[in-house]
Amino acid sequence: MSEPQSGVTRWAKPEGPDPASPTALINIVVAQASFVAALMFYVGVIYTSAYYGHFHLSPFSLGLGFAEYVLQSLHLMTFPVLVSAVVLLIALAIGGRRPRQALPGGVVRGASHGTSVLARYYWVLVVAGLLLLVGWWQWQLLLPYRWAGPFVIGVGLLLGAARQTDVDQPRRLRDIAVPVFAAMLFLLWSVTLAAGQIGERNARHDARHVDERTGVMVFSSHSLGIWSRSPGLRHQVLGEHVHLRHRYEGLRLIVAREGRYYTVPVGWNATTDSVYVIREGDGVRVELTPGVHE
């Protein structure tokens, strides 16, 4: 006797790993880690280009590797950047809560109300960001904070995408994906401007205090012809019977790569002075000394 057929339709389980399975979690973690590594590499390239560009150098000619670019991106991990990121995440988390979800504490409820108002009128932030962009572009306003315009626009678009909506009329995926994608572009632009600004600022600081960097003393069997160009350099001839008879002092190290030492003299000026590339070889010996104030 055959079993009666049930009126309930059974759907086949979709192929692929369970979203809660360890394999799916590992895939998610690997994807997110790859995205973070790519973003750090990009930020590191922008930072190093701005930093070494102040010293008339290109990071691509130095042969920096992937890991070095990633480490250079850590210069953006400053207190204001971290605080801004935390505030942005909290605002998005609070702004996306439903009204029926209770929030403990008066301060948190006040922050939720303020975030909800900003999310409802997100276009005000977008217009304010556009005004900041126009002010920077046309009149050079807020030049040290030129990243503020794209950042405000990106935050406004994200709040608009995360704002509370009517349950009876849910938004379509396209209505959320487009502003989120645009917000990511503006935030990436903001990060790019911030990375370049921090790299340039750090380079200017190091150039002003170049005498505190690692000193470079060069011994050469022949004259290098650089001592007369920079007043910060000191040249001394040790004697005719000494093989490495020419000694140069007063150089400071910027970076060393594959036997090449990129140096600047004490009192170096970015607009007028040169960067000296010293290559160690049979007729040239390089010694590194502690950087001291002269």
For 256-278, the pLDDT digits (tens) are 998 899 999 988 988 888 899 99
Neighbours of 83 (CB within 10 A): 10
pLDDT over 90 percentage in the chain: 37
Residue 281 DSSP label:
B
pLDDT higher than 70, residue 219:
yes
- The tens digit of pLDDT for each residue in 164-216 reads 554 445 666 666 888 889 999 999 999 999 999 999 999 999 999 998 999 99
The one-letter amino acid code at 118 reads: L
> What does the radius of gyration of the chain's CA atoms come to, in whole angstroms?
29
Q: For residue 3, what pLDDT is reported?
A: 52
What's the whole-number mean pLDDT along residues 218-239? Answer: 81
- The tens digit of pLDDT for each residue in 87-123 reads 767 766 665 555 444 445 554 555 555 667 777 788 8
From CA 63, how far away is CA 52, in angstroms rounded?
13
What's the whole-number mean pLDDT along residues 214-237? Answer: 83
Looking up tokens 């349950």, which residue turns up?
167
- DSSP class per residue in 236-250: EE--TT-TT-EEEEE
pTM of the model: 0.79
Greatest alpha-carbon span in the chain: 115
Contacts 24+ apart (CB under 8 A), 274-277: 274/56, 274/229, 274/230, 275/55, 275/56, 275/57, 276/226, 276/251
Q: For residue 136, what pLDDT is reported?
A: 83
From CA 154, how far away is CA 75, in angstroms rounded?
22
- The tens digit of pLDDT for each residue in 242-260 reads 888 899 998 999 999 988 9
pLDDT higher than 50, residue 140:
yes
